[in-house]
């Protein structure tokens, strides 16, 4: 029997990023329904992003925070990227490879993991550009500046909430055993959209989350069910973490 046979998984990733994960889950036997909570859109000020990318074309390195940042930057300013590229997550590495660029990424795939690299411990007077979306976390930029780097920010995309009817949220929650979220913004969108009649049911559901930071946000928001976090940020690791929990539910909370 396949390890996830009969398990009903609700995937809330943006539609264009969900296909490969859905296939992996279905191959493992899960019954998958998709309810995208966010859509990816161009930034409000693409010209400003273009100017920053151009200004940092000769920087010591660019740091891409997501595959969305890669796609957005490629649409805004495709030429003259520096050789030194760092990425958060293997999906970001693959997105850069599709654009013809080589990048390296930390194990784990988060900002905290990247900041542990010896290469980023001595960055005095180095010029670094963080390529990201609108309203990013400040940890990476603040820490690098504290270490003496000159840091730029290029906001190359934004996330928009998708307004589903309350009945759609209710049906999705009733039809799922586990809910997969891909960001803190997705968590906020879910809490904003769920009808009051299904809020307690939602808060008791197991969640599959991208990081311990988002898991902490979920606990603070009142979620009481199991919180599952993969070892690294990848589709394969996400499915493995779900299989581990299915086999041994007692390992469900970080």
* Residue-by-residue pLDDT tens, the chain, 254 positions: 799 999 999 999 988 888 999 999 999 999 999 999 999 999 999 999 999 999 999 999 999 999 999 999 999 999 899 999 999 888 899 999 999 999 988 876 678 888 988 878 889 999 999 999 998 889 999 999 999 999 999 999 999 999 999 999 999 999 999 999 988 999 999 999 999 999 999 999 999 998 888 999 999 999 999 999 998 878 898 999 999 999 887 666 65
Q: Counting Cβ atoms within 10 Å, is residue 148 exposed (0-12), middle (13-18) or buried (19+)?
A: exposed
Q: Give the strand pairing for 38-41 and 158-161.
A: antiparallel
Q: Give the strand pairing for 31-34 and 8-11.
A: parallel
Put residue 175 in one of left, alpha, beta given phi > 0 → left and psi -120 to 50 → alpha.
Answer: alpha
Domains assigned to the chain:
8-37+162-251 (3.40.50.10090), 46-159 (3.40.50.10090)
pLDDT at 249 (0 to 100): 74
Global pTM value: 0.84
pLDDT at 1 (0 to 100): 78
Q: What is the DSSP letter of 233?
A: S
């Amino acid at each position: 029997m396949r390890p996830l046979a009969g398990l009903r998984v609700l995937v809330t990733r943006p539609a264009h990023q969900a296909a490969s994960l859905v296939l992996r889950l279905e191959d493992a036997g899960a019954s998958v329904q998709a309810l995208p909570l966010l859509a990816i859109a161009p930034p409000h000020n693409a010209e400003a992003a273009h100017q920053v990318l151009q200004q940092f074309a000769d920087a010591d390195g660019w740091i891409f925070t997501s595959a969305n940042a890669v796609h957005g930057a490629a649409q805004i300013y495709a030429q003259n990227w520096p050789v030194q590229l760092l990425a958060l997550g293997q999906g970001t590495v693959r997105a850069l490879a599709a654009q013809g660029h080589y990048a390296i990424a930390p194990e784990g795939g988060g900002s905290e993991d990247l900041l542990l690299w010896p290469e980023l411990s001595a960055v005095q007077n180095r010029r670094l550009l963080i390529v990201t979306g609108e309203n990013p976390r400040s940890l990476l930029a603040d820490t690098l500046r504290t270490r003496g780097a000159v840091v730029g920010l290029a906001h190359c995309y934004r996330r928009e909430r998708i307004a589903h009817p309350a009945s759609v949220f209710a049906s999705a929650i009733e039809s799922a055993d586990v809910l997969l979220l891909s960001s803190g913004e997705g968590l906020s969108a879910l809490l904003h959209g769920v009808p009051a009649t299904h809020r307690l049911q939602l808060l008791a559901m197991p969640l599959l989350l991208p990081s311990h930071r988002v898991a902490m946000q979920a606990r603070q928001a009142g979620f009481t069910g199991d919180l599952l976090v993969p070892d690294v940020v990848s589709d394969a690791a996400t499915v493995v973490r779900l299989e581990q929990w299915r086999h041994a539910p007692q390992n469900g909370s970080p």
